């Protein structure tokens, strides 16, 4: 009788969800339709991820640079994020805990609208007791802004900025290092996303646009850390 295979440790997957606009353009649809399908695909991927021993899934929802996009597109994306943070019943059914990281709401350069802030706070509170996968949405987030924030607070509280003190003052210092970073839609760059946390991560680049990123693509990314 053979011994059972040891349990695989949970991994941290981070994803730059790129290609929504290009997905829509190839179908002669408005860019907003691509963002809508991208949000729906994130919900589909969360349902897959909880079956793959993924402990943390962190997604790049909206960057500090995205505010320069056309106003109608930004409004649409904001509405989708409010909808995402409103999927509490499904997240609870999946035992998923949701959290957010980005420029703190009370910081002078924060841009997150009040109605999105309320949705974020409610989702965090309503899923706080869940013990499964942690879904982190990076919204109004940029890694450069995060590291400046961390360095400033490390210097203020500890007097010296070291790797340990900087890491302790990131937006979510409890997040473990990223194991595999996913970038969709054929772009070979990581676009100011979790630069500190991804220092030792494997990187999975794919030509697949985010709305088409499925279980097979996720498994291919996981194969980089689970040979």
State yes or no: is 28 an active-site residue. no
The CA-atom distances, in angstroms, between 123 and each of 38, 118, 149, 151, 200 are 20, 9, 25, 29, 31
Active site residue 219: no
Task: Tell me which of 18, 20, 41, 140 is the catalytic residue.
Answer: 18
> DSSP E strands: which ranges in the chain?
11-16, 54-63, 97-101, 134-141, 180-183, 202-205
Q: Return the H-helix or E-strand segment holding 72.
A: helix 71-85
Choosing from 66, 92, 130, 192, the catalytic residue is 66
What are the distances in angstroms from CA 101 to CA 24, 26, 172?
28, 32, 7
SS3 63: strand
Looking up tokens 């909808």 gives 83
**Of 7, 29, 47, nearest to 132 (Cα)?**
47
Q: Where in the sequence numbering do the catalytic residues fall?
A: 18, 66
């Amino acid at each position: 009788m053979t011994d059972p295979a040891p349990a695989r440790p949970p991994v941290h997957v981070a994803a730059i969800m790129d290609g929504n606009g290009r997905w829509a353009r190839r179908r002669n649809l408005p860019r907003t339709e691509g963002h809508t399908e991208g949000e729906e695909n994130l919900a589909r991927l969360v349902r897959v991820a909880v079956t793959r021993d993924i402990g943390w899934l962190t997604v790049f929802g909206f960057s500090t640079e995205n505010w320069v996009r056309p106003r109608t597109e930004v409004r649409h994306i904001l509405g989708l994020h409010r909808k995402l943070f409103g999927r509490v019943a499904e997240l609870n059914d999946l035992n998923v805990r949701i959290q957010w990281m980005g420029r703190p709401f009370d910081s002078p350069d924060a841009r997150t609208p009040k109605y999105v802030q309320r949705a974020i706070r409610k989702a965090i509170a309503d899923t706080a007791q869940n013990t499964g996968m942690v879904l982190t949405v990076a919204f109004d987030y940029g890694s450069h802004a995060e590291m400046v924030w961390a360095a400033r607070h490390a210097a203020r509280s500890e007097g010296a900025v070291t790797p340990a003190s900087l890491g302790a003052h990131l937006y979510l210092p409890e997040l473990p290092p990223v194991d595999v970073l996913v970038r969709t839609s054929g772009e070979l760059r990581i676009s100011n996303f979790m630069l500190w946390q991804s220092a030792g991560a494997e990187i999975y680049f794919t030509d697949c646009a985010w709305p088409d990123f499925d279980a097979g693509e996720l498994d291919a990314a996981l194969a980089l850390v689970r040979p």
